[in-house]
Amino acid sequence: MQILIIRFSSLGDVVLATAAVETIFRNIPGAEIDFAVREEYADLFKGDPRIRNLFIWKKGQGQFDYLEGMRREKYDLVLDLHRVTRSFRLYPFLRYSRLIGCEKRSLERRLYVWFGYRRKGRLRPLLDAYLEAVERAGLGKEKFLPRLIPNPEARAEVEKIFNSRGIKPGEPILALSPGAKKEIRCWPPDRFAELGRRAIAELRARVLVLGAESETELIQRVIQTIGSDRAYPLPGLSLDGLSALLSRVNLMVANDSGPAHVGRAVGTPVGVIFGPTSPEFFPAYGAGDFIVERELSCRPCSLRGERPCSRPQRECLEAITPEEVYNQVKTSLSISHGGKSKE
């Protein structure tokens, strides 16, 4: 059975779409799965044995150049998990027997943001929407969670990083990701630093501070505030490097951001701090995951944190203290470090 999955962006959504990949891979032995994605997220699938062909849309590339490989295939199923104009334009040029799109219920999510509207008490997370599309295709007898498979080369590079910093097997490792695509979603960096300080002082943890190359200044600020030689800046990791690194840590704490999804998808417990956005759309699903948020009448104020705060200060984030997050970190890190060895 030949299947094409379409999900171009963004980072968190592409990671969530790996639940469809994993579910089809597990339920349909011998299925040949192709995946269409934007260039900046392609490294997530580097060396992934579940993917036969990875069709990469490069910025500025013409549609017909991008279609060249796909047009040669004849698919039993096209599973469109994005459903945007760019994916619609592909349909006339593809050869397929069935086409199933994801019902994202975008209007319902916007109504929730604007008016607090809910259907029977709880919105449907995007992950559930993806898995429902797989089920409608008759491929979801048993459903699986998102899963990334770090490639061996990236794992080897991570071991070099650990060795160069003297990180020994068995030491508890806490990863901090203080950035996000939208700055308004970010918990104050000095509070991330306080988490790192206490984890080092009380739990003898090693602390890795991660982020994009553009967040180097933010990362250095957190590192300097921690003020310990057991804390290390790691800006600008490739996505395959990030997934390999997060597969080796015991706990990650992040804002509502793409790296949080990466951590969960490699099986690492993740604590997410939510401010203007809502965990209704992206709830925790791992055994050691936790969420920290403040219940306020103005939350959520936007789908992705694209609107400026209407209050004198961001109460949704400013009211979250390092103490309450650290209590969660202490519990989760102790369980994760004591319960299993990361390999």
- What CATH number is attached to the domain comprising 33? 3.40.50.2000
Where among 91, 110, 136 does a domain terminate?
Answer: 136
Tally of domains in the chain: 2
Strands of 32-167, DSSP E: 32-38, 51-57, 74-80, 95-101
Q: Report d(CA 252, CA 269) in Å as an integer.
A: 6
User: What is the pTM for the complete model shown?
Assistant: 0.93
Q: What is the pLDDT along the chain (343 residues), one digit of tens a residue?
A: 999 999 999 999 999 999 999 999 999 999 999 999 999 999 999 999 999 999 999 988 776 777 888 999 999 999 999 999 989 999 999 999 999 999 877 767 677 776 765 444 456 788 999 999 999 999 988 999 999 999 999 999 999 999 999 999 889 999 999 999 889 999 999 999 999 999 999 999 999 999 999 999 999 999 999 999 999 999 999 999 999 999 999 999 999 999 999 999 999 999 999 999 888 877 778 778 999 999 888 888 877 777 777 777 889 999 999 999 999 999 988 776 665 444 4
Give yes or no: residues 218 and 122 share one domain.
no
Helix (H, G, I), strand (E, B) or coil at 59: coil
Give yes or no: residues 168 and 259 share one domain.
yes
Q: How far is CA 203 from the centre of its chain?
A: 26
Give yes or no: residues 183 and 103 share one domain.
no
Asked if the structure places residue 292 within a domain, the reply is: yes
Give yes or no: residues 260 and 300 share one domain.
yes
Asked if the structure places residue 147 within a domain, the reply is: no
Asked if the structure places residue 168 within a domain, the reply is: yes
Give yes or no: residues 264 and 229 share one domain.
yes
Asked if the structure places residue 228 within a domain, the reply is: yes
Asked if the structure places residue 325 within a domain, the reply is: yes
Asked if the structure places residue 144 within a domain, the reply is: no
Give yes or no: residues 325 and 199 share one domain.
yes
Q: Report d(CA 175, CA 159) in Å as an integer.
A: 15
Give yes or no: residues 132 and 268 share one domain.
no
Q: Give the domain extent around 26.
A: 2-136
The two tokens of residue 334 are: 């102790």
Give yes or no: residues 156 and 110 share one domain.
no
Where among 136, 160, 191 does a domain terminate?
Answer: 136
